[in-house]
Structure 1
Amino acid sequence: MAEENTNSKIDYTLILIIIALAVISIFTLYTLHPYLIEKYPLSTYYMSQIKWYIVGTVAVVIIMFFDYDRLRQVSWAFYGLGVIALLMLYFHFPPGIADNVNGAWGWFQIPGFGSLQPAEFMKVFLIIFLAHIIVAHNEKYPEHTVKMDLWLLAKIGLSALVPIFFLTQQPDLGGVLVLTSITICMILVSGIKWRIIISILGGLLISVVSIVVIYISFPDQVNEFLYEKDLQHVGDRFNAWLNPDENSQGDAYQLLRAMLAIGSGQLSGKGVSDFEVAYKIPEYHTDFIFTSIAEQFGFIGSSIVITIYFLLIYRLIHIALKCNDPFGSYMITGIIGMFAFQVFQNIGMSIQLLPITGLPLPFISYGGSSTLTYMLAIGIVLNIYYHLKTYMFDES
């Protein structure tokens, strides 16, 4: 039998990647300060972002004191806490605390603390819970049959559908897509037979293509249906994506301004000293912060940011493959799905590759709840890496 060795260590490569993203975030927010202070005179966003990174770092240090396997024991508690928070927002409770921002009931305004967005934390809670479900199922049913795989698929699907339903009611389309991405990624590695997965993915692909074709063919009828179902915001964003020039003063305003800003950066950007916010993008510091980077540092700066994200995903995949514990591997897979989708979606919506969904750019966009959520996720990965078990004769 191979000899087991617990080789406790810190992944400094991953830490350096996060530090690089944090520096980019804080510096970009600092350069945006003259513009932001005109709209938000009482806020200093780069200082607030530093505060959230400090809080996130403390959270990471606390996580490192515990073995990540203990998360299995409290996975139900985390999941339940997240669902209860979303349920409270669904009923706009408590009054004065549950808050509507830009038409979405997705925040708690806590006196002395600030705003808190439960949907962000639900991402990590769902990852932990789904990892526990998959491990528990595979331990109980080691033999994979079609019946047992479908049962596992049902448990994963139902667990994800509960928070997804509440996010559709806020409404938070971006959050719905992230939870869906997390769920799909974890299903792919759950051990479910590939013929079942391919059948489901094929059905989803056909459904998506059908929806797009129907919308293009019958836009008026589809918009009327969405309006009746209180989903008009979905149709508006989709229409703005397909026909931005026709909605230049409406839902496509941000998109058109963002593309102008990105294009104006050209190869090397305008630079910091000559940078002026000429395009007045409403969410320059949050959802559209990538446009600021592209405008100031051009194609070169944008490429560096994308390369850093590539290194982040590559490093996470590397750790997941080295992990000999299924629970740890499943959690990292969910975290990969969360980061990869948000990076692709955020940058994609800034260049009209994808519709606008209001998702922040991980670690760079301003946001307390989002930054803390990402740091918690990285804390879990660092904890898993720290407790990696290696065996004699392992190639690694």
Structure 2
Amino acid sequence: MTRRTSLIDLANAVTSDPAPREMDILLTAGERISMALLAMAIRELGVGAQAFTGPQAGVITTEHHGRARIIDVAPGRLQKAVADGDVAIVAGFQGLHPETQDVTTLGRGGSDTTAVALAAALQADVCEIYTDVDGVFTADPRIVPTARKLDRVSYEEMLDLAASGAKVLMPRCVEYARRFDVPIHVRSSFSGLEGTWVTGDTQEGEDMEDPIIAGVAHDRSEAKITVIGVPDVPGSAARLFEAVAKSDVNIDMIVQNVSAVVTGYTDISFTLPSDSVPRAIESIEADHEGIGYKELRTDEAIGKISLVGAGMRANSGVSARFFSALRDAGVNIEMISTSDIRISCVTRADKPGRCGTRRAHRVRPRH
């Protein structure tokens, strides 16, 4: 992360508006340096090793520089390296667009997603993701000392935890694993202890003491946009979110107020990643006349806290206990979103906390 930040600083020293294509070429340099040095170090220990960039490893992506998506993996060179007895080292976070032949970067969660994509392409037994914690916990152990490590968690629960702010895994990584049924083993880089298994089958209900709640997640990286004075007529919301979709922004929570009968207007609020706010605002303002809103407001001082667990499907009273706990802690709720296994609340940013992790990856081939 430090090397990547310094590369961004170098770009900003040269220009205030770096071209996305050239930024991707620049940002992939850090991973290339690391993989080459690691291969050299392994060879020095007497073990064969080959380093591969994302394109060399066969990672094929969309054309969107800085936020490309993996569309295919052709792992032929990796399979040959492993068959020859070498350790294959792949630079994560990068790929190749097949038509332009340009290198691309995958954006947030790109390294984890690369690891899972390679595991799926190689039909591996498991994708091991090494981080600075012992696994997935019921809450951030740096904030909640009594948080417990989960032995197993379902793809569905992990996807909601990740989307709600748990930093151990990114949502797109978990979604890829779920789509191709790749088990993920999250474990510590600093110990040989068993970590947390993220799989499609957690054998829920076999133990009478299985927890109802998988965990609590928090996130300070989101912002809120409120569109004030939207005409309360069919198609207004569609026009608004079509404009947002043009900027390739992922929306999290949406709340529409009950319209005022006298005015015939309503307000729509939604949350999104903070770094996506400028793009969303630009797209909405570009279609101001078509949407017909009166005012735009942004709020980047929000936080989100979420309760996640498949056990909530069959247990009543969870919402009441959750909201009571927030009340007792003096936390005011601004927005609420629910699903079968998740309850999320938007609060002020000074309520939830946040932490980051560093991780490495290892794919264990099937025998």
On whether the aligned pair clears a TM of 0.5, the verdict is no
Richer in helix (by share): 1
RCO greater where, 1 or 2, for CA within 8 Å and sep 6 or more? Answer: 1
Richer in strand (by share): 2
* TM value normalised by structure 1: 0.23
